[in-house]
Amino acid sequence: MKTITVRYFAMFREHAGVSEETLTLNAATVKDVFEHTRDRHGSMEPNGHCKVAINDHMADWDTAVSDGDIILLFPPVAGG
Amino acid sequence: MGILSCCFPRLRAVDVIEVTESVIDTAALQRSLKNPGAGGYCAFEGWVRNENEGHVVERLEYEAYEPLVIVEGGKVLAEARELFPFLEARCVHRVGLLELGECAVWIGVAAAHRDEAFKACRFIIDKIKVRLPIWKKEHYANGDSGWVNCERCAAHGIAE
């Protein structure tokens, strides 16, 4: 089990009802974390259009997570 | 040194992207790009429009994760410089609640020739829209609101 902090932005924050939470879960990759939080908060958003960062670095969905990581979950972006 | 600085274009090593909660002062930004080697300058301003996909929009709300906007935006500007060598480029993105007609994003590129300025400006705005962690919520005349793109992607996800 790993203890990680997940931070939510925009639509994800509204789904979660919080901007940040600490979770203890069995996750190998950030995709696992994404799916866990999606089930937890009843979100329907697929990860394909989303982005993820670990400890303030953009990451791929198959990047491994480590105990103590801060995972940033970004819903589809729309700047400009 | 004085002779060199007046005879050769000034080159900024790192181009700048910023996030602000304040009204974007486009005239001041334009002045900041003045460069003796520049034969022209091209800017793009993104404004708050009054409708989207049939909805009457009253205002927009932008949210950004600034630390990674700075990092990813810096990469976009560096890529643009590599592809279309210019002299100076700056980008400012607004966050918070914006009213109709307000400037949400400003990009300016000064270059020796117009071709690089136009192309770099277009490249930067196109990449900013899809790569930077910035989100836009529309507030509609009927009281509803919705995250741009997010709603459509969510619907797509359900269909799948």
Report chain B's mean pLDDT, rounded to a whole number: 88
The CA distance from B130 to the nearest CA of chain A, in Å, is 6
Q: Are A78 and B53 in contact (CB under 8 A)?
A: no
The interface predicted TM-score of the complex, written ipTM, equals: 0.94
**Lowest-confidence segment of B8-12, B48-52, B130-134 by average pLDDT:** B8-12
The band of B10, judged by pLDDT with boundaries at 50, 70 and 90, is low
| Residue of A10, A44, A53 with shortest CB distance to B158 | A44
The band of B160, judged by pLDDT with boundaries at 50, 70 and 90, is very low
Is the CB of B105 less than 8 angstroms away from the CB of A79? yes
**Lowest-confidence segment of B1-10, B58-67, B74-83, B125-134 by average pLDDT:** B1-10
Q: pTM (2 decimals)? A: 0.89
In angstroms, rounded to a whole number, what is the distance separating the alpha carbons of residues B53 and A58?
A: 31
Name the strands in the sheet holding B103-111, side by side, starting at the edge strand that comes first in the sequence: B16-20, B88-94, B103-111, B40-47
* B4 Cβ neighbours under 8 A, 6+ residues apart: none
Q: Looking up tokens 């400037």, which residue turns up?
A: B103
In angstroms, rounded to a whole number, what is the distance separating the alpha carbons of residues A51 and A34?
A: 10
Mutate to test the interface with B, among A9, A11, A15, A57 (most CBs of B within 10 A): A11
Report the pLDDT averaged over residues A13-18: 95
Tens-place pLDDT, residues B25-65: 999 999 999 999 999 999 999 999 999 989 999 999 999 99
Q: Are B136 and B102 in contact (CB under 8 A)?
A: no
Terminal-residue alpha carbon distance, chain B: 64
Backbone angles phi, psi at B105, to 5 degrees: -145, 140
